[in-house]
Chain A
Amino acid sequence: MKKYKKYLLLLVTCFAMVMVVFYGFNPGDSMAGDIQYPVVCYEGDELSKVKAWEKQWVGKRIDASNIEGVQEFFPENYYKILKDKEKWGSMWFEIVPYRQMMPTPGDIKYTKQFAGKPKVGSDGNLVDYVSGTPFPNAKTAMELMYNFDNVSFGDNTLIIQDIALIDGIRKYDKRMYAPSHQVFFSNRREIPPVPEVTPNKKEIYRASHSEYFEPAGMRGSRWLSIKWIDRLRDFGGWSYSAGVRRIVRRSTAQRLDAVGGGDATGEDTTIYGWAIPAQDYKLLGRKELLVGRHQNADLLAKGHTEGIILYSGIQRERINTYVIEAIPKDPDHIYSKSIYYMDPETWWLVYSDKYDTQGELWKVFENVQSNIKSIFSDVFVPSVLFALTIDVVRTHGTVFFSPMKIGETGDKYKFGYYTPRALQKYGY
Chain B
Amino acid sequence: MNKLIAVFIFIVVFYPLGNTHAFDFFDGRLYLRGNIHETLNIRTHEDFRDIRYSSFRTTLRLESIFKITSRPGLDVRIHALGKYYYDKALDLDSQQRHAVREEAGGRHKYRDFRRPRDMDEWLSELYLDVKWETFQIRAGKQIVSWGETAEDRVADLINPLDTKYMLGYPDWEDFKLGLWMARLFWTPKDIWQDLSFELIVIPFHFLPQRLPPGGAGLFIGQPLIPNAGYQKMFDKQRRDEPPTNLKNFEIGLRIRGYADILEGIDWAVSHFYTRTDSGLIDGDGGFGNYVNMMLGLPMKGDVYKYPFYNSTAFTFSTTWSRIKAGIRGEVAYNSNKDYQFGNFGEIKECDLLTTALTIDKSVMVPYLSRWNKNRSYYFSLTGYQYWLTNHEYNKSTGSYIYWESGKRDSSWTKFSLVVATGFWFDRIIVGGYYTYDLNGNTYVSNYVLFQPGDHWQYLAKYQQVNESGAGRYSDQVVLSIRYEFW
Give the interface of A toward B (CB within 8 A). 165, 167, 172, 174-175, 202, 213-217, 219, 234, 236, 238, 243-254, 256-258, 260-263, 332, 334, 356-357, 362, 391, 393-394, 396, 410-411, 416, 419-421, 425-426, 428
Contacts and interface: CB of A to CB of B under 8 A. Distances in A.
Contacts of B486: 213-214, 216, 219
A253 B361 contact: yes
B404 interface: no
A244 B150 contact: yes
Contacts of B129: 428
Interface string B21-38: 000000000000101000
Interface of B: 33, 35, 63, 65, 72-73, 75, 79, 129, 131, 134, 136, 143-145, 147-148, 150, 171-173, 185, 187, 189, 194, 196, 256, 258, 260, 263-264, 266, 317-321, 324-326, 328, 360-362, 364, 370, 373-376, 422, 425-427, 451, 453-455, 457, 484, 486
A249 B362 contact: no
Given A244-B172, A249-B328, A216 B484 contact: yes
A420 B318 CA distance: 12
B173 A244 contact: yes
A258 B376 CA distance: 9
Contact of B145 (A246, A251, A260): A246
Nearest to B35: A216
Given A216-B484, A334-B374, A248 B317 contact: yes
Contact of A425 (B172, B185, B370): B185
Nearest to A244: B150
A171 to B, nearest CB: 13
Given A174-B453, A247-B266, A411-B73, 17 more contacts: A174-B425, A175-B454, A216-B454, A236-B264, A244-B150, A244-B173, A245-B145, A249-B319, A251-B326, A258-B426, A261-B426, A334-B374, A394-B373, A411-B72, A420-B258, A420-B266, A425-B187
Contact of A261 (B136, B326, B425, B455): B425
B35 to A, nearest CB: 7
A251 B196 contact: no
The residue among A243, A246, A396 with the most chain B CB atoms within 10 A of its own CB is A246
Given A249-B326, A250-B326, A419-B194, A202 B260 contact: yes
Contacts of B260: 202
Nearest to A216: B484
Contacts of B147: 246
The residue among A247, A260, A262, A356 with the most chain B CB atoms within 10 A of its own CB is A247
A217 B451 contact: yes
Contact of A428 (B73, B79, B136, B258): B79
B425 A165 contact: yes
30 contacts: A174-B425, A202-B260, A214-B454, A216-B35, A216-B454, A216-B484, A217-B451, A219-B33, A234-B319, A236-B264, A244-B145, A244-B173, A245-B173, A246-B150, A248-B317, A249-B318, A249-B319, A253-B362, A261-B422, A261-B427, A262-B425, A263-B425, A334-B364, A393-B373, A410-B72, A420-B258, A421-B194, A421-B256, A425-B187, A428-B129
The residue among B63, B187, B373 with the most chain A CB atoms within 10 A of its own CB is B373
A334 B374 CA distance: 7
A416 B187 contact: yes
A396 B425 contact: yes
